[in-house]
Amino acid sequence: MALVLDEQQAMLQESARNFLADKAPVAHLRKLRDSRDADGFSRDLWKEFAGMGFTGVLVPEEHGGLGLGNVEAGTIMEEIGRNLTPSPFLSTAIVGVSALLCANGERKSELLPKIATGDLLMALAVDERAKHGPRQVALSAKRSGNGFALSGTKTFVVDGHVADLLIVAARTGGAPGETDGLTLFLVDPKTKGLDVERTIMVDSHNAARLTFDNVHVDADAVLGEVDGGWSVLEAVLNVGRGAVAAELVGCGEETFGRTVSYLKERKQFGRAIGEFQALQHRAAHLYSEIEITRAAVLKALQQLDQKPEKAAPFVAIAKARAGKTATLAVQEAVQMHGGIGMTDEIDIGLFMKRVRVAEELFGDANFHADRLARLKQY
Partner 1 sequence: MIDLDTFRSETRAWLASNCPPSMRLPLEDDEDRCWGGRNWKFKSDDQKLWLARMAERGWTAPSWPKEYGGGGLSRDEAKVLREEMRAINARSPLDSFGIWMLGPALLKYGTEEQKRKYLPEITRGEIRWCQGYSEPNSGSDLASLQTRAEDQGDHFLVNGQKVWTSYADKADWIFCLVRTDFSAPKHNGISFVLFDMQSPGVSTRPIVLISGKSPFCETFFDGVRVPKENLVGELNKGWDVAKYLLTHEREMISGIGLSAGRPLGHVAADTVGTEDGLLADPLLRAQIAAFDLDAAAFQLALERVGDLAKAKQGHPAMSSMLKYYGAELNKRRHELLMLAGGSDALEWEGERSRGGDRARSWLRTKANSIEGGTSEVQLNIIAKRLLELPGA
Minimal CA–CA distance to 263: which of 252, 253, 272, 254? Answer: 272
Nearer Cβ to partner 1 (36/376): 376
Nearer Cβ to partner 1 (30/282): 282
Q: Helices 277-306 and 229-265, interaxial angle, to 10°?
A: 150
3-state secondary structure 206-252: CEEEEEEEEEEEEHHHEECCCCEHHHHHHHHHHHHHHHHHHHHHHHH
Q: Is 102 left (phi over 0), alpha (psi -120 to 50) or beta?
A: alpha
Stretch that binds partner 1, among 86-94, 96-104, 292-300, 353-361 (CB under 8 A): 292-300
274 interacts with partner 1 by CB under 8 A: yes
The CA distance from 249 to 260, in Å, is: 16
108 interacts with partner 1 by CB under 8 A: no
Contacts of 210 (CB under 8 A, 6+ apart): 125, 153, 154, 155, 157, 160, 166, 168, 189, 194, 195, 196, 197
Beta bridge partners of 153: 211
- Shortest spacing between CB 314 and partner 1, in angstroms: 8
Nearer Cβ to partner 1 (131/374): 374
Nearer Cβ to partner 1 (184/296): 296
292 interacts with partner 1 by CB under 8 A: yes
Q: Which of 14, 31, 291, 342 binds partner 1 (CB under 8 A)?
A: 291
Centre a 10 Å sphere on the Cβ of residue 357 and count the other Cβ atoms it contains: 17
What is the per-residue binding string for partner 1 in 223-252, x denoting contact by CB under 8 A? ------------------------------
Q: Which residues inside 317-346 make contact with partner 1, applying CB under 8 A?
A: 317-318, 320-321
131 interacts with partner 1 by CB under 8 A: no
The CA distance from 119 to 142, in Å, is: 31
14 interacts with partner 1 by CB under 8 A: no
287 interacts with partner 1 by CB under 8 A: yes
Q: Which residues bind partner 1 (CB under 8 A)?
A: 2-4, 260, 263-264, 271-272, 274-275, 277, 280-281, 283-285, 287-288, 291-296, 298-299, 313, 316-318, 320-321, 365-366, 368-370, 372-374, 376-378
